[in-house]
Structure 1
Amino acid sequence: MKTLTSLLAGATVMALSPGVAIADGSDMSFAVHDILVTSNIPAINISVRNLSPSPFPAMRNLRVTSPTPVLNVAGQVWCKSFQNAHTRADEAQVMFGNASVISAPNGADVLTVGTWSASPVAQLGANETLRNYNIAAPVNFPDHWNGGFALGFNPVREVEERMQQFVQNGAGTEADFLRTDDVFETTITMNAVGWCEYDSQNLSNKRYAGLRQIEVPVHIFYHGDDDIEDQVTSVGSRGTIQAPPPPPGPSYAPPPGRRGRDATPPRSPSSRQGGTRRPDREREPAEAHGDVYIAIPDIDGEDSEGLIVPAVQRQQDEPEADRRTDDRDRSGIGDTIRREAARAAIGALFGSGRSSRGSSPRPQPGRPPRGR
């Protein structure tokens, strides 16, 4: 496929070559001898680009990005001569599109239903049957196309129709077409129109129109968009791509440094009341129920279950009379429990299984025990 540079070079040669505009036909009414075009009409070059920020073909926004072409058309309006009537070249105009001469109440005029762009009317003046004209004719056309029927020439519509043919012929996808530089050649019809006035004894102030049609070449340069890509319109159907599932997030990964069974969350310290585990209840303040809590490491095995029990059991084994005390004595039991529990914890930390301080003295041989 040709590159855009070579296409531009070829279009420049064609635009500068003489005789590019081809005379197609003429339509002259009663008083018009001929409408002449004496200037060279070059080919028109138009650029179309995709201005959409989206990379998907369905979101394309094709626009004409080149300035409005202007054709400088020069020629002559030539009227017929009669012995018993007077004619003169009155006006000239350039029109683009389909035009024809039809009868009118005041003579003959131009049917402009099919025209889509026209230059201003040039007044020729004087009373001569042959007058020159020189008109700068802008070629006005839309810079975009939204589909549907449109009257006249539209460069964007031309590109869209070429793309549909490209896809229907199996040459590729819309994305393939929109990524590639290309040039399309077509023509538009230019009408050089002139009016002649006619006056006679029987007919006065009549105007008769004539026109010369010329097919002007048009080169539409489409500048490919490299960012265009094919879009998956449906997922899961045949011939489409299924996007892979996203990878697990941080919450799915095991904590750093933990493997196998250690990947389970660590066991929270169990609450204790009177030596009984309460794994299903939250820890409550010690002041709420008089519980005794000791901040010790989590020790597995039977030793951890019996750290507090011996102190409480010894207190319960004392004679009943010794436990008949006032409120101050009862508060001493709590102090004893706390003290013995603390000693048991210290003994567990330093390898001792029993407390060596604060225990009752053994009775000495031969000496009766002391009374209480």
Structure 2
Amino acid sequence: MDKVIYKIVFFPIQIFIFCVSYFQPALFLSSRFDMFALFFAQKSFPWFKGLMAYRMFQKKKFKEVIVLHRHDSMENVSGLFLLSVALSRRATGKVNDRTIDFLKEAVNKGASLLKSFYLFKLIVTLRETRRMTDSELSYFVAELSATRLFYKSFYYRACLELASEFLLKNNVSDAQKWYLVGRLSSRASGYLALTHYFDSGKAHSEVGRLVSPELSLIDIIKMSEGSICVVGNSPSVFGASMGKWIDSQRVVIRFNNYRLGADFSDDIGSKTDVWVRMLPTPLIDRKLQEGVGLVVFTGPNSIYRSILKWPEVLGISSQVKSAGFFDEELFFELQSIIGSPPSSGLMVCYTIYRVLGYFPKGSMIGLSIDGNVEQDGVYHYSDPTAFAAPRHNWEKEAEVYKQLLLGAR
């Protein structure tokens, strides 16, 4: 009874605080209103707590949402609240089965009008975590088949994600079935590889090169026969005096916004064979260097996923011999070890180790391997404004790096 009275008495205050927080995000006191709202939300109605948590997620206050969840069991919360917790975990790098469990429970407890939205978020997060099992695919097929077409945009996008997953499992007939529904989405253009596969009239030769690359990262590692160097962007490269040795290696791999020139050549050389980079984003302003034969886009194989900037991707791939993505199986394998999406540096080193069976001694330069990345004052040797991505588990990555170095020869 006391809890009910508390909820009723303080409910108008909560509504006021929530409205201030929601409609005045630039207000100087908005962060303090957020804290007040979180305090009251701990004992509020489940649906209001869900609204508050989702608003916190939208404002990128992921840690606050996760902390708010610790005050409740899974039974006493709304679907929107569980969704907010899951998406906050995902945003902070916790891409694992625990996060998937939150999303599954959100689908079960969420409002039926929002089911398409919940299912889409669950499917996307699951596909970022690992490949779907046959039983999971059957579950999504049944759920989407029975879902009413509220939030059509998310329903259609969920259909496209299912089509992509079926195609990766070589189930072409089911993939085509869901693609024909999903192509009604306003975001269908982001799934260009699906269109390329199922609509020959819109096929694109450059997409075909990405789907079946002439040369992959695994291929070029095999060709190196151990004569390979991974050059990161850590300030530790200063004074390394490794330039001549780096350029003498058969394969040199660099990342994102790497910088070359007279100021750096003595330490890190000038040669680049493989450019590992994020998908097109304003954060990457480097142009393609002459001599690069392979561009690897970070993340698991996204070819049948949604890519927002396909023209830029195709523009890059058209300038090199080959372009592609990290091997999906190895990516998920490493992600399961460290519990978060791996950084591109660790992913490359791990791929080298898995392909060669060992990691070549001395072939890792300019990578932050001590686990203290987030505390370092400078992250990039030529860009003092660069920062470490919060999605990576740097401490776990340091442990894997040490294991790789222990096995170096």
- TM-score range normalised by the length of the shorter chain: under 0.3
Task: Decide which structure has greater helix share.
Answer: 2
With normalisation by structure 1, the TM-score equals 0.18
Answer with 1 or 2: which has the greater Rg: 1
Larger RCO (CA within 8 A; separation ≥ 6): 1
